[in-house]
Chain A
Amino acid sequence: MSWSADPSAPSPAGRSIENLLADRPRRQTLTGFDPEYSDIVDYIMRCTHRIWEQKDVGLCRSHYGEDCLIHTLAGPLRGVEAVVANTLATLAAFPDRSLIGEDVIWSEDAPGLFHTSHRIVSLMTHLGDDAFGPATGRRAEVTTIADCLVRENRIVEEWLVRDNAQLVRQLGLDPWTLARAQAEVDKASDPGSHAWRAEEVERVRSGRPLVAAPPADHPATALIAMLHSAVGGSNLGAAAKRLSVSVEGRWPSGRRWFGRGGWVGAMNQLNAGLESPRLVVDHWAASALPHQDLAVALRWSLAGRHTRPGVYGAPTGRDLLVLGVSHYKVRDERVVEDVTVFDELAMLRQLAGGLGA
């Protein structure tokens, strides 16, 4: 993995949708990719537009591996036909869903094997019945980050985090009510279907990330140290010195904070209810932004036992697993913006005894 300052695949940040979707010749080596894609950022932005907004959902069959694996905190999904079915189901409920790509932070992890971290804001109207219940007619704005492993025009593995609790609240629904209902369904299902969660909790507890640490001079190194210092080391103030004093953060469920103290508060709100919380960073990448800023993406997993009251209510004694992705804007070696996404609906579902918890 390397820091992709490569200008042949520029960030979508600061570019109009007209510019992003304009045809252009290949400008990055993309072996085995369809000819219409000029670079890996273009591949992600354009195929998302074609699949979701142009409704050519069948393109998933040429853009996902037949046996692809999609990781979400609500459980894994396998196979391209499941991707097609889920996309169609989402469009049946939210037919006007637009996926506005804010950034694609990418790396080439091995020759021809790309990793992309795609931050999306979706604007949509809940016009069809779905797993959330009957159509509410409400509009919603929800942030998603999709981390994709891509080879030869196909996404072969994906880690998807969506701010589902905020989506549910914008639909006028209660996240706890929905999470408890989901948990009851989980309790009635085959316990083996939730083994993945126990395995993930064990992996995180034993400190086994999916990737090796970056080299010391990589921009992600300091930010990984920041998260470890805050979560494992509990030295929140020291960790926060990697941030600008006026850093701005957007976290799930409408959380918005400013300054180092704001970040400390957000981290502590997430962790203080957990016994022995442990965090591992499972992917890292960096790419260039306009104005000589830098974007760093970290995908992380957090596990701990819910033993104290706090933002998620009274302690449940259950193990909690969190899958999160943080996108940092870095200026002069310090973070000036932090957009972090994790799925709190799936967290509540665990605390209600679902997903095998």
Chain B
Amino acid sequence: MTVLGCLLSGEGPPVLQTCRFEGLGGELYGRAAISHRLAELQSLVSSPLLDVETARMGVWMDAEYAVVGELVHGKVQRLWLLSDRVGLSLPPTIDIPSDPDLMQAKWETRFEPRDHPELNTADAARLMNTVDSWPGLELGRARPVVMRAASAGSVLLALLRMEGEAADGLPVPIACNGLIVADGNGIERRLDGAGLAQARLRSWNPRL
């Protein structure tokens, strides 16, 4: 069984004490808080549609929830939950006025294969073709950042930070996480709807 599979079935070692969790529209830090949320999640998830891992990355998903883990020596260092379920709120934040493009706007995906040692060449090309189109994305001027990517056998895994602008009202920057899984059967895209919902509720605050 994979590390994430064990976690979601209530077996296996706990996450690292330094683990950071993003999901449910907010963040958690530390073993106790994350284990508590994972225990709740265990009763909500159903049989996995996908459960794969590499040395650095694991992805588990059923029809409603997708979980991405950053692994170090088989232990979970970071966790991302992508779902529509809101259960947390965002911490206080200072927003940063910035230009994601550093050029005349091309809205490029920020991705370099050398950052992802477990991603093979064919999957790197496939990811570039996949990430540029996201049907139904509720973000204006979306500029994805590929945070983690790996090839797990024949499966391409990529965790993204979807930065963009609010699609309605003032075009303030908002962001949420996204996941791409692709194999011979097709491409699955998941957006963290909870993160996007909470991001929309925030007002832009570039001051202390």
A binds B: yes
Bound Cα distance from A312 to B146, whole angstroms = 32
Question: Known contacts A246-B145, A246-B147; is A269 also within 8 Å of B72 by CB?
Answer: no
**Number of contacting residues on A, CB 8 A?**
52
Question: Known contacts A261-B99, A262-B100; is A170 also within 8 Å of B115 by CB?
Answer: no
- Establish whether residues B110 and A258, one from each chain, have CB atoms under 8 Å apart when the complex forms: yes
* Residues in chain B near residue A245, CB distance under 8 A: 110-112, 115, 145
* Residues in chain A near residue B161, CB distance under 8 A: 248, 258
- Could you say which of B1-9, B88-96, B133-141, B184-192 contacts chain A? B88-96
* Residues in chain A near residue B208, CB distance under 8 A: 165, 175-176, 253, 311-313, 344, 348
- Establish whether residues B115 and A253, one from each chain, have CB atoms under 8 Å apart when the complex forms: no
- Establish whether residues B18 and A264, one from each chain, have CB atoms under 8 Å apart when the complex forms: no
Dominant secondary structure of chain A at its interface with chain B: mixed
* Residues in chain B near residue A257, CB distance under 8 A: 96, 98
Q: Which of A308-336 contact B (CB under 8 A)?
A: 310-313, 331-332, 334, 336
- Establish whether residues A262 and B96, one from each chain, have CB atoms under 8 Å apart when the complex forms: yes
State which of B29, B101, B115, B163 has its C-beta within 8 Å of the C-beta of A121: B29
Bound Cα distance from A157 to B88, whole angstroms = 40
- Counting chain B residues whose Cβ lies within 8 A of the other chain, the interface size class is 35 or more
- Establish whether residues A265 and B99, one from each chain, have CB atoms under 8 Å apart when the complex forms: yes
A14 to chain B, nearest CB (A): 3
Q: Which of A247-288 contact B (CB under 8 A)?
A: 248, 253-262, 264-266, 268-269
| Residue of chain A at shortest CB distance from B118 | A291
Q: Does A26 contact B (CB under 8 A)?
A: no
Query: How many residue-residue contacts, CB under 8 A, span A and B?
Result: 133
B101 to chain A, nearest CB (A): 7
- Establish whether residues A265 and B18, one from each chain, have CB atoms under 8 Å apart when the complex forms: no
Q: Which of A6-36 contact B (CB under 8 A)?
A: 12-17
A143 to chain B, nearest CB (A): 10
Q: Does A102 contact B (CB under 8 A)?
A: yes
Question: Known contacts A246-B115, A248-B147, A258-B145; is A264 also within 8 Å of B102 by CB?
Answer: yes
Q: Does A166 contact B (CB under 8 A)?
A: yes
- Establish whether residues B93 and A253, one from each chain, have CB atoms under 8 Å apart when the complex forms: yes
Q: Mark A232-249, 1 if CB is under 8 A from B, else 0.
A: 000001001000111010
Bound Cα distance from A291 to B57, whole angstroms = 12
Bound Cα distance from A348 to B208, whole angstroms = 9
- Establish whether residues B102 and A237, one from each chain, have CB atoms under 8 Å apart when the complex forms: yes
- Establish whether residues B145 and A253, one from each chain, have CB atoms under 8 Å apart when the complex forms: no
* Residues in chain A near residue B95, CB distance under 8 A: 255
* Residues in chain A near residue B55, CB distance under 8 A: 291
B residues adjacent to A (C-beta < 8 A): 13, 16-18, 29-31, 33, 55-56, 72-73, 75, 77, 91-102, 110-112, 114-115, 117, 145-147, 161, 163, 175, 206-208
Q: Sample 9 A-B pairs with CB under 8 A, ordered by A number.
A: A98-B30, A170-B91, A244-B112, A246-B146, A258-B161, A259-B110, A261-B101, A265-B97, A313-B207
